[in-house]
Amino acid sequence: TASGVILFAENYLEVVHVDFDAHFEVEISLDKMVARGRFLPSGEGGTPLNPTLIEHTLHDNRIVFGIQKEQLEQIVHQVNTENKVIESVDIAIGQKAADGANGHIEYFFNTSGNLKPKEMEDGSVNFKDVSVIESVEENHELARIHHPTKGVPGTDVCGTLLPAKDGNPLKLPVGPNTSPHPSNPDVLIATKAGIVRLSGSVIEITEGYFVNGDVDFATGNIKYGKSVKIKKDVKSGFSVEAGGDLDIGGLVEDSNLFCDGNVVIKGGFVGSGKGEIIAAGSVNIGFVRNQTIKSRGDVNIAKESINAKIFARNNIHIYGKTVVGGKLSARNEITGLIFGNSEGSRTDLEVGLDFTLLEEKYKTEEKIKALMDNHKKANETLTKFEKMKKIKKVLQPKQEFLYKKLAALVAKLDTQLVALEKRKEMIEEKLREVGKARIIVKDRILPGTMIKIGDRHFAVQQEILGPKSILLVNGKIEAV
């Protein structure tokens, strides 16, 4: 009375039931964001795929969200008409949670100290039309805050709600001489005329020092706690110290410039090698000859660098044609068109070194030497007192006082020496970190150029044609 397949074996007759009905199987991903289906057609006399079977199977697997109804209808029709197996088809897709975007600030002035020089029609470049110092009038709009957005929750195929994070808000960067707009608290305005700059996380308006001409015997040396703007040149033998940014419209000769912000020199920095620029920010300059630049940011040169010593904590970019002689050292990257010349002038290029760490190492070594000298002197005197104490058994009150002071001093010096040695070890460890430092040559590197990456050296003896990146590959300097 049963339907199925008749089997006869060992004089035994048996009817094995066979299900000829169509089948629909479901597999759910581990994160429950996708459900995939496997569809088997019906056999002869079996029940074909139908909406009721689909609904019951989805219900049994607790799939309630993101069901691809149109696709399921098409598959059911295809399986029933073509009598084919269809596997691993997405039949339900969840919706991922989308976190909200963080708030951000839109600035209405240049906040970067890195100024790309303007390219002229003839291909030359200069900084004449850019400035690191930007003046604003009272009530000028400085920035606008954009509020964070709400997160959008998601849902998996089983209907479970997936939480989303809202974006993080930001505060309006209110600094000295700025305030929210009286009718729009999302906008920051200047409350007085002056020079605008981003100082840390706030915007400030400061007074500036303006020289309507050269820095020479008529002005003397300049030392000002805020930004300084000089219309023309800085003559040999004079110095300028700026607590903010420094903008010079002409040339700088054999002079010393110290700046706590960014520097723009629209002309060049030329002389006999007695000039030096030390900047906490980036240095943007027309050209350099024979002088020294030390920047804790980037150094950007519009034209050429000739026999200059340039140190950048980040990058050095030369937009002009020539880098000849001297030394360029950057922690991350040096970019230029042509390095060296046909005469084979030695030109040193070094990446992977933070010159500020190297300077700190030298200073630490000097401190260690000074402490060791003091330690030696104090310890020698302490030893004399100890011998006296051994002979006399008891020291005089004044001698006992000095003895205890010296013992405390030696102990203090021991502690300081241990701390400095640890500091030196940490600096040396950081100095060994090269990272992804590289030299990018757009045209060529000529013989006579010396390349150093970390502790690896390479003397260029044959012309290297660009564009190429010079970097460490498996511990070896390669041009790729």
Task: Determine how many CB atoms are found less than 10 A away from the CB of residue 257.
Answer: 26
Q: Please classify residue 181 by burial: count the beta carbons closer than 10 Å to its beta carbon, then call 0-12 exposed, 13-18 middle and 19+ buried.
A: middle
Q: What is the pLDDT of residue 113?
A: 65
Give yes or no for a cis peptide into 182 (omega within 30° of 0): no
| Tokens (6 digits) for 150 | 């709400």
Tell whether pTM > 0.85: no
Non-local (6+) Cβ contacts of 180 within 8 A are 172, 174, 186, 187, 188, 189
Residue with structure tokens 């706590």?
260
How big is the chain, counted in residues?
A: 480
CB-CB contact of 197 with 216 (8 Å): no
Q: At what angle do helices 397-431 and 355-392 cross, to 10 degrees?
A: 160
Q: 399 pLDDT band (50/70/90 cuts)? A: confident
Predicted pLDDT at 363: 93
pLDDT in tens, 326-361: 999 999 999 999 999 999 999 999 999 999 999 999
Given a cut of 90, whether residue 297 has pLDDT beyond it is yes
Which tens digit of pLDDT belongs to each residue from 141-151?
999 999 999 99
Question: pLDDT digit string (tens) for 220-266?
Answer: 999 998 899 999 999 999 999 999 899 999 999 999 999 999 999 99
Q: What is the pLDDT of residues 11-38, one digit of tens each?
A: 666 655 566 889 999 999 999 999 999 9
Condensed to tens digits (0 to 9), the pLDDT of residues 372-395 reads 999 999 888 888 888 887 777 777
Per domain, the residue ranges of the chain are 5-93, 104-205, 356-431
pLDDT at 20: 80
- Distance CA(450)–CA(247), nearest Å, equals 33
Measured CA to CA, the distance from residue 304 to residue 289 in angstroms comes to 8
Q: Does pLDDT of 6 surpass 60?
A: no
Q: What is the average pLDDT score of the chain?
A: 90
Specify whether the CB–CB gap between 98 and 41 falls below 8 A: no
Judged against a pLDDT cut of 90, whether residue 134 lies above it is answered with: no
Residue type at 170 in one-letter notation: L
| CB-count exposure of residue 357 (10 Å: 0-12, 13-18, 19+) | middle
Q: What is the pLDDT of residue 94?
A: 97
Average pLDDT value for residue range 91-117: 89
| Mean pLDDT calculated for residue range 192-197 | 89
- Residue 199: the pLDDT is 86
Classify the phi-psi angles of 379: left when phi > 0, otherwise alpha if psi is within -120 to 50, otherwise beta. Answer: alpha
Distance from the first to the final alpha carbon of the chain: 81
Place of tokens 């030359």: 124
- Number of neighbours of residue 452 by Cβ within 10 angstroms: 18
**What is the per-residue pLDDT for 459?**
94
Whether the pLDDT of residue 1 is over 50: the answer is no
Q: Per-residue confidence at 130, pLDDT binned at 50, 70, 90?
A: low
User: Taking phi first (over 0 means left), then psi (-120 to 50 degrees means alpha), and beta for anything else, what does residue 177 get?
Assistant: left
> Contact at 8 Å (CB) between 163 and 192?
no
Tokens 């996380």, residue located: 201
**Above 60 in pLDDT, residue 8?**
no
Contact 189, 140 (CB under 8 A): yes
pLDDT for the residue numbered 122: 66
| 3-class DSSP string for the chain | CCCCEEEEECCEEEEECCCCCCEEEEEECCCCCEEEEEEECCCCCCCCCCHHHHHHHHHHCCCCCCECHHHHHHHHHHHHHHCCCEEEEEEEECECCECCCCCEEEECCCCCCCCCCEECCCCCEECCCCCCCEEECCCCEEEEEECCCCCECEECCCCCEECCCCCCCCCCCECCCEEEECCEEEEEEECCCEEEEEECCEEEEECCEEECCCECCCCCCEEECCCEEECCCECCCCEEEECCCEEECCCECCCEEEECCCEEEEEEEECCCCCEEEECCCEEEEEEECCEEEECCCEEECCCEECCEEEECCEEEECCCEEECCEEEECCEEEEEEECCCCCCCEEEEECCCHHHHHHHHHHHHHHHHHHHHHHHHHHHHHHHHHHHHHHCCCCHHHHHHHHHHHHHHHHHHHHHHHHHHHHHHHHHHHCCCCCCEEEEEEEECCCEEEEECCEEEECCCCEECCEEEEEECCEEEEC
